[in-house]
Structure 1
Amino acid sequence: MPLLAGKLITQNGLGLMRLTWVAGPTPDEQAFKILKAALEAGANVWNGADFYGTPDNNSLHLMNRYFTAYPEDAEKVVLTIKSGIVDMRTFTMDCSPTAMRNFVDRANTILDGKKKIDIFGCGRVDKNVPIEETVDALAELVHEGKIGGIQLSEVSADTIRRAAKVTKIDMVEAEISLWSRDVFQNGVAETCAELGITMVAHTPLGAGMLTGHIKSVDDMPAGSYHKHFPRFQPENIDINFQLVARLKEMADAKGCTSAQLALSWIKTQSSRPNMPLFVPVAGARSEERVKENVKDVHFSEGDLQAIQLILDNFTVAGDRYPPAAAKLTEY
């Protein structure tokens, strides 16, 4: 089994966003069952952020409560935390050395010793601070034992190389899915493979679109900020559902769910030449969904060619992010 932050992991992770960053956060009683189910299924890479929710109830607060109830699970989990957002309304970032130290100290205060942050980094790119300064500050925090390792998110291959010249980069987070395949075309995946960096695939189910359950914006969960994204707008969503429908036909033929097909496709990319380890971190609002998501689907070479043919014949309509949010990514 591979290692991340010195701990054994599988290719299954858990996205924490939907447990606290939605209209009506999941009650602890149910959230704890989901978290426990994830661990039992081997999904021990938990992907959170200090902006997944409110200043008083985000991923860090949920982790404090969970590990207070289950302290024996703390060392079993690789907790990855993104930060650096000053104002979500204006997408303002601060990844300066001083800010990094303040964000880490605040996070550790919230966790209150219940859990160490295994991997920490900026949630996006701060165009006003050179990446070298950010990761050098994070390296100091690793040396001091305040965090275990360093991650980057939504960065280019060049930024990864620049950061890696300063210090060890443990993880790169990127949107990777059947309808977000940029990292396979822009050198990011190859760079991570070359440098031995694990890639965490956020939004691996296309914010629910790739499950086949979303046919219009009205089908999206209440409070979902993806409702405002270009790919979900009326002029694009009908076009994109054609791709989803074809993938569902493929899933039906394989005897699996669309979600299982989408997640297994990401994991299968790790076996391609010059590819890193990919760990998709799908969210879940029930124990049943966790168990569904971790079930692997075997693909023959013919299956992979059939999926690729579908992808080649159906171009995704709409950008990944609205213009304001897109400014924080490097591709």
Structure 2
Amino acid sequence: MVLQTIRLGGTASGISVGRVAHGLMTMTWVSGTTNPISDEQAFEAIRAGVDALPPGTKMFLNSGEFYDMKGGTGNLELLSRFFAKYPEYADKTFLSVKGGLRGKIPQLTPDGSLAFLRSSVDNIIRALGPNKKLDLFQPARIDRTLPVESIMTNLVALLEEGKFSHIGLSECNANTLRKAHSVYPVTAAEIEVSAWEYGEEQKAVIAAATELNISVLAYSPLGRGFFTGKINSLADIPQGDLRTRHDRFKEQNFNANLAIVDGLKAIADRKGVLVSQLCIAWVASLGSTVIPLPGSSKASRTLENIQGGDMELTEEEVKAIDAVLSANPVAGERYYGKAVDVHLWG
């Protein structure tokens, strides 16, 4: 089987990547431990995805400057060790890293000033080491104290200094994306998209990205594990897991949202696939530039995920999925409730 590929947008339109990207956060950011998995397991998970792709296609890897439980560069340091051990994989991967957040978890604040963005990018490059370049840099959130045009001007200055090759945004709204793209071509916009997170904001960003040829990195396409089919009760979530703080994982909301999983699982069973693969295929179907971005720290899960992006949904299957989502409104807010500002849709 030859897996599907997709071309990136913006200034990376000549680069072909796998239809499904690989989020790396869970390799170093898991509740209750500062060293959740071994390098060997993490490296196997990365290599499995890369090795499954056709020759000449890159695996899109997504990391963050703050992706470890202490808010440090543990994820990038893991990547540094990976590329030191497997330097031949540098050219087989396209690496995007989010940064530009000031402070410590959970009190992170976006700072789009040139000085702070430069310090963030320099920190990423230092942690990443000499064996892999930073392909794409993304401010992890939009700094609302600055016009996005100013933020883009700062990013272009750093790009022209040779610190990275392409510019992305994260958690931006459609209007912000259009304004940013008018300053300099945006390669990718990272937003949350899943069976329980597909509303007017997502639809507007996807429409703008389709028009402007910007890749949409659809993160958490499996609802932070909710749509893997592996979570059937709150007892399946470890004590201290960060998801227990999320509104949709509160008991009353959790139980109501299981109806969505049950409906999707029935469709997946009829198709003979995993519910997680059905969800990834559905997210991929939402736009010609949409790239599902699930996380994985196991080789087997990486392969399951990318196979989901290779599935074609029939018109009847799409209608059945839409019917499930219409019949079962999502219970609970996206993060911690309306009172907590996590800088969404900047």
One-letter amino acid of the counterpart of residue 7, structure 1: I
Distance in 1 (alpha carbons) for counterparts of 2:85 and 2:16: 23
Question: Equivalent of 1:305, from 319, 325, 329?
Answer: 319
CA drift of 1:325 comes to 5.2
Q: CA deviation at 1:184?
A: 6.7
Aligned match of 2:40: 29
Within the alignment, does 1:2 sit opposite 2:6 as a pair?
yes
TM-score with structure 1 setting the length: 0.93
Give a deviation string over 1:264-298, Cα, whole Å, max 9, x none.
1111223xxxxx41111211232111111111332
Q: Is the 8 A contact 2:66 2:72 kept in 1?
A: no
2:223 to 202, 206, 218: 206
Matched residues in 1 for 2:126 and 2:62: separation?
A: 19
SS at match of 1:298: coil
The 1-side partners of 2:284 and 2:157 are apart by 33
Match of 2:22 among 3, 14, 21: 14
| Deviation of 1:107 (Å) | 0.9
- Which string of whole-angstrom CA distances, capped at 9 and with x for unpartnered residues, describes residues 153-212 of structure 1? 111111001111111110000001111112676511111111110001111100000112
Q: Does residue 96 in structure 1 map to residue 96 in structure 2?
A: no
Distance 2:129 2:155 in 1: 20
Match of 1:281 among 293, 300, 311: 293
| Equivalence map 1:24-63=2 (5 Å) | 24-42=35-53, 44-53=59-68, 54=70, 56-63=72-79
Matches of 2:159 and 2:167, distance apart in 1:
8
Provide closer, same or farther for how the CA distance between residues 234 and 222 of structure 1 changes in structure 2, counting only shifts above 3 A.
Answer: closer
SS at 2:146 equivalent: coil
Give the superposition deviation at 1:90.
1.8
Query: What secondary structure, in the 3-state scheme, does the structure 1 residue paired with 2:225 have?
Result: helix
Q: Secondary structure of 1:269's match?
A: coil
Taking the aligned partners of 2:320 and 2:339, their CA distance within structure 1 comes to: 36
Measure the CA separation in 2 of the matches of 1:326 and 1:206: 20
State the shift of 1:91 in Å: 2.8
163, 173, 187: which is aligned to 1:170? Answer: 187
Q: Which amino acid aligns with 1:52?
A: Y
11-20 or 183-192, which moves further after superposition?
Answer: 183-192
- Please state whether the residue corresponding to 2:186 is helix, strand or coil: coil
Distance 1:181 1:55 in 2: 29
Q: 1:79 is aligned with what amino acid?
A: L
TM-score under structure 2 normalisation?
Answer: 0.89
- Is residue 207 of structure 2 the alignment partner of residue 190 of structure 1? yes
Query: SS in structure 1 opposite 2:286?
Result: helix
Q: Measured at CA, do residues 186 and 285 of structure 1 come closer, stay the same or move farther in structure 2, by a change above 3 Å? A: closer
SS where residue 226 of structure 1 aligns? Answer: helix
The answer (yes or no) to whether the contact 1:17–1:49 under 8 Å persists in 2 is yes
- Count of aligned pairs between the two proteins: 326
User: Does residue 1:72 correspond to 2:88, yes or no?
Assistant: yes
Give the stretch that moved more between structures: 128-137 or 197-206.
Answer: 128-137
Q: Greater shift after overlay, 196-205 or 137-146?
A: 137-146
2:159 is aligned with 1:142: yes
Aligned-partner Cα distance in 1 for 2:233–2:278: 21
| CA gap 1:321/1:67 in 2 versus in 1, 3 angstroms | same
Q: Give the superposition deviation at 1:224.
A: 3.4
Pair 292,227 (structure 1): closer, same or farther in 2 beyond 3 Å: same
The whole-number CA distance in structure 1 between the counterparts of 2:284 and 2:247 is: 27
CA displacement, residues 195-238 of structure 1 (integer Å, 9 cap, x when unaligned): 11000111110000011222333322565322211111112000
Provide closer, same or farther for how the CA distance between residues 325 and 279 of structure 1 changes in structure 2, counting only shifts above 3 A: farther
In 2, Cα distance between equivalents of 1:103 and 1:236:
37
Change (3 A) 1:138 1:183: farther
Change (3 A) 1:319 1:192: same
Q: Shift in Å at residue 39 of structure 1?
A: 0.5
* Matching residue's letter, 1:123: A
Distance in 2 between residues matched to 1:210 and 1:103, nearest whole Å: 33
Residue 301 of structure 2 aligns to which amino acid in structure 1? R
Return the alpha-carbon distance in structure 2 between the equivalents of residues 178 and 70 of structure 1.
36
Letter in 2 for 1:12: V
Q: Deviation of residue 13 (structure 1)?
A: 0.9
What percentage of aligned pairs have identical amino acids?
34
CA distance in 2, matches of 1:164, 1:151: 10
Residues 226-265 of structure 1: pairs in structure 2 closer than 5 A: 226-265=243-282
Q: Deviations over 1:33-56 (max 9, x none)?
A: 111001112371111101111455
Equivalent position of 1:273 in the other structure: none
